[in-house]
Amino acid sequence: MHPGEVCWLTVTVSGQNPVRAKLSGKILISIPKKVVAKAVSRNRIQRVLRVASQTVLKVDAGKIYYLRVVRMPKNVSFHMIKDALEKAIL
């Protein structure tokens, strides 16, 4: 595992681009259908991950935060996802 990876989640942060410096930061979330087959589960993970990322990440202007689910998480609770996200960005 590399530093931005927890067992089921990877976090990649793009560098500051002078062209994008005036734009607000973005959070992109990717949950492939091969990883989480059911749409209901994908949507729930995405909703909880979006809320957790808004509370944990301090989004810098011009940066893009790419969150990718690489394995199906065992439990989809806010606190579990928030802890995983905090571990991934350290």
Q: Over 60: is that where the pLDDT of 82 sits?
A: yes
β-bridge partners, 29:
67
Dihedral sign computed on CA atoms, order 26, 10, 88, 78: positive
Q: Over 80: is that where the pLDDT of 83 sits?
A: yes
Q: What is the pLDDT of residues 50-72, one digit of tens each?
A: 888 888 887 777 778 888 998 88
What is the pTM assigned to this prediction? 0.76
Q: Give Cβ neighbours of residue 40 (< 8 Å, ≥ 6 apart).
A: none
User: What pLDDT does 1 receive?
Assistant: 45
Q: Give Cβ neighbours of residue 73 (< 8 Å, ≥ 6 apart).
A: 8, 9, 45, 80, 81, 84
Q: Over 70: is that where the pLDDT of 87 sits?
A: yes
Average pLDDT over residues 13-41: 79
β-bridge partners, 27:
65
User: What pLDDT does 44 receive?
Assistant: 92
Percentage, residues of the chain above pLDDT 70: 82
